[in-house]
Amino acid sequence: MCVDAAAEVRLKDIINIEGVRGNDLVGYGLVVGLDGTGDGMRNSPYTEEALSSLLERLGVNVQGEDFRPRNVAAVVVTGTLPPFARAGSQIDITVSAIGDAKSLLGGTLIMTPLHAGDGQVYAVAQGPVLASGFSAEGEAASVKFGAPTSGSIPQGARIEREIDFDFGSMETLRLSLRSPDFTTAARIETAINTAFGKPIATLQDPGTIELAMAGTGLSPVHMIGRIENLSITPEQKARIVIDQKSGTVVLGADVKISKFAVTQGNLTITVRETPFVSQPNPFSRQGETIVLPDTTITVDQNPERRIAEVDENVSLSDLIEGLNALGVGPRELIDILKSVKAAGALHAELVLM
């Protein structure tokens, strides 16, 4: 896949505003109403303790009682408190089992406080869990698709406390680039100063531009609303991203290659094991049944493949065309790019995932 980095983008798509960010929330709760797929109380004593505490708060005394419900699961609830969220608004949450529950399908999360890093409760979660996937098992086989032990609750948490952040009183704004770059930051500075007709933007470093509010007559909110839709052409480093698991290769348009030669091995050896069972003759008292090996080895030589030479400073399209001429697939392309990088002929950053 080829990525062209020369397209214009809006500032809102490549920058963050200092102080404007979300806050992570986490809580511990119980999911009830499961169809026998909850935690085993013997293996998850914390689930039994939490359930007992919940029932006592509801006026049910279970001290000394021997109960082993299989329709309850202990879960960790996570979510993100977005910036400028107000009390009463709702956010999405994720619910994940922490015990030996097999599935959260059909369960309902009981009221769960969600804490931020300061230990304060900022939201309360509750509602039916939407779990994806399924699992089924029998005496000799089982099948599982997805992760039924994890689910989500859209709009499942209600915000109870707000973050104390007075954005409107800020006298200086700082913009941070999501991908710091000297050229991109300089272009942002120029675009903002040109739009206002005065030098209000100052480049601090490759990832930071500072905006002076004095003399503009605008509030911070109006300032961001005016600049976030300005468009620039960001610069990117020459980069090749390789996902080895899926065989995906993404190459940036600025990738350059020095002159080199490459060949793909034309020798393929296949080893196939096909064991078979040998049984004794009928009514034989001394014979026994044994498994005998049967190995088949095939060697495939492809004389059509040749050594290919790649000229110096070729373009990306030329590189892809040349490798395709060799019949190179995604997996082989990954190995070739690694080798070319090791040889010093690939002038790009190689990112392995």
Instruction: Give the amino acid at 313.
Output: N
Q: In sequence order, which residues have a C-beta less than 8 Å from that of residue 55 and are 6 or more positions away?
A: 61, 62
* Average pLDDT for the chain: 79
- Tell me the average pLDDT across 120-147: 77
Report the distance separating Cα 3 and Cα 203, nearest Å. 28
Instruction: Give the amino acid at 101.
Output: A
Q: In sequence order, which residues have a C-beta less than 8 Å from that of residue 353 and are 6 or more positions away?
A: 241, 242, 243, 244, 245
Question: Which of 40-54, 96-110, 151-165 shows the lowest mean pLDDT across its residues?
Answer: 40-54
Look at residue 303 and tell me whether its pLDDT is greater than 60.
Answer: no
Locate 107 and state its tokens. 């369960």
Cα-Cα end-to-end distance for the chain: 16
Q: What is the pLDDT of residue 128?
A: 95
Tens-digit pLDDT profile for residues 66-78? 666 788 889 999 9
Q: Which of 36-40, 93-97, 297-301 has the highest mean pLDDT?
A: 93-97
Look at residue 64 and tell me whether its pLDDT is greater than 70.
Answer: no
Q: What is the pLDDT of residue 277?
A: 65
Q: What is the pLDDT of residue 268?
A: 43
| Burial grade of 205 (CB within 10 A; 0-12, 13-18, 19 or more) | exposed
Higher pLDDT: 245 or 179? It is: 179
Look at residue 241 and tell me whether its pLDDT is greater than 60.
Answer: yes
Residue of 117, 95, 78 lying closest to 30 (CA atoms): 95
Question: Which of 16-30, 64-78, 119-133 shows the lowest mean pLDDT across its residues?
Answer: 64-78
Q: 281 vs 8, 67, 94, 284, 286, CA distance in Å?
A: 80, 60, 63, 5, 10
Helix (H) or strand (E) holding 315: none
Look at residue 250 and tell me whether its pLDDT is greater than 50.
Answer: yes
Do the beta carbons of residue 147 and residue 135 sit within 8 Å?
Answer: no
DSSP state of 314: B
Report the distance separating Cα 178 and Cα 176, nearest Å. 6
pLDDT tier, 125 (very low <50, low <70, confident <90, very high otherwise): very high
Look at residue 264 and tell me whether its pLDDT is greater than 70.
Answer: no
